[in-house]
Structure 1
Amino acid sequence: MIAALAAAPSFLAAPAPALVTVYKSPTCGCCKAWVRHMQENGFAVEAHDVNDVTPYKKRYGVRSELASCHTAVIGGYVFEGHVPAEDIKRFLNERPASRGLAVPGMPQGSPGMEGPRAEPYNVLSLDADGIVQVYANH
């Protein structure tokens, strides 16, 4: 009994999974696949099906050249498109002075866009001044 009580504080201190709020089209299959990818990697996901994702992209400062089919928000950061969960986890752990990450377009082989062929793609970081830099290569 004492051993169980001693273990309780560490159990209670376990962090809750980060909540991912996703804005996506109700008919987009790759968005649904990306949501599944995030859930399979330990994220809690709240998906909002919207007819037009553009207002959400504008609200979170996603420029048109960085846009993809869905926009996600985690803890005040924006994640545009098919960003791999491993990059999001690293980003959230580092907590950089950045607005978020983006994978422009819909590159084959990215999470949610799996298939017989994969193409190389970059994950870009978006800083508060609008400067875009490569965060990861895949």
Structure 2
Amino acid sequence: MVTSVQIEGKIQQKPEGSCDDFVTCAVTSSGNFLHHTITNMASMGGGGIPCIDITLKKIPGAGLGLSIAGGIDQDKSKNPFVPGDAGIFVSVVKPGSPAELSGLAIGDKILEVNGLDLTMSTHSHAIKLLTKEKYTTLKIKIHRRGI
């Protein structure tokens, strides 16, 4: 679970209607301090969805420590996070894993991996992108409800 913290006694807020990035910090359940950039997808033509940019560093020979659910080839009415949404969602995050250390949380909707759009992806295509061996670092753009 990721818990928001204050930075220098201030809660950082984005001005209404602004498309500039702003920064938030968090602490994972294992006590690791994270720094994320939250962007407004309107600045990228995405309709104003707030997102978090996450960097996940893979550990050679280890898994990512996450499971995903969803995809355009799945029954979107059974999506446990947002019924009717065919997106790719994080469904499991193992404690101490690269996924948990990066700040991913259960229910996060994965929008992009290394600049590749996953908003209209099949489940198997999303798995292939996440587990591609040539990527030692994953730049993941997510939407988290409540931000």
TM-score > 0.5 by shorter chain:
no
Structure possessing the higher radius of gyration over alpha carbons: 1
Question: Going by fraction, where is strand more abundant, 1 or 2?
Answer: 2
TM-score, normalised via structure 1 length: 0.30
Q: Which has the higher contact order (CA 8 A, sep 6+)?
A: 2
Question: Going by fraction, where is helix more abundant, 1 or 2?
Answer: 1
TM-score, normalised via structure 2 length: 0.29
